[in-house]
Amino acid sequence: MKTLGQNIRELRDKKDLSLREFARKLGDISPAHVSDIELGRRFPSPELLAKMAKLLEEPLEELQKYDQRAPIEDIKRMVGSNPAYGFAFRKLVEKQVSPEEILKLIEKAQRDKDKR
């Protein structure tokens, strides 16, 4: 399945909008920010996503289908319970660890734990 960023990029390309033009039409956002969203490095705020949907002439609900993030409240609750989670998540993003790699690490950690 396509990511939110990939979908936004495809829709922008179909509208023949350059990255700079799209960012300018969105308002107070840089082309670099839009690029980061399209590459999956950042996620748009609900307000920005609504602006993007309107500019791309795409129903907001359709774009939201591609947003695979966990509900923010769940993440805040988990990170709030232990600040080390926030640090760990930042490291995963920084190192661009794939979901498959994360699952392999979890399996290895569980095997190591079971050996003890």
Q: Where are the domains of the chain?
A: 4-64, 72-115
CATH for 4-64?
Answer: 1.10.260.40
Cite the beta strand spans of 2-107 per DSSP E. Answer: none
What per-residue string of b and e applies to 40-79 under the rule 16 or more CB within 10 Å gives b?
eebbbeeebbebbbebbebeeeebeeeeeeeeeeeeeeee
User: How high is the pLDDT of residue 50?
Assistant: 96
Per-residue pLDDT at 30: 96
Q: Each residue's pLDDT tens digit in the chain (116 positions)?
A: 789 999 999 999 999 999 999 999 999 899 999 999 999 889 999 999 999 999 999 999 999 999 887 666 777 777 778 888 888 888 888 899 888 888 899 889 999 988 88
pLDDT score at 11: 98
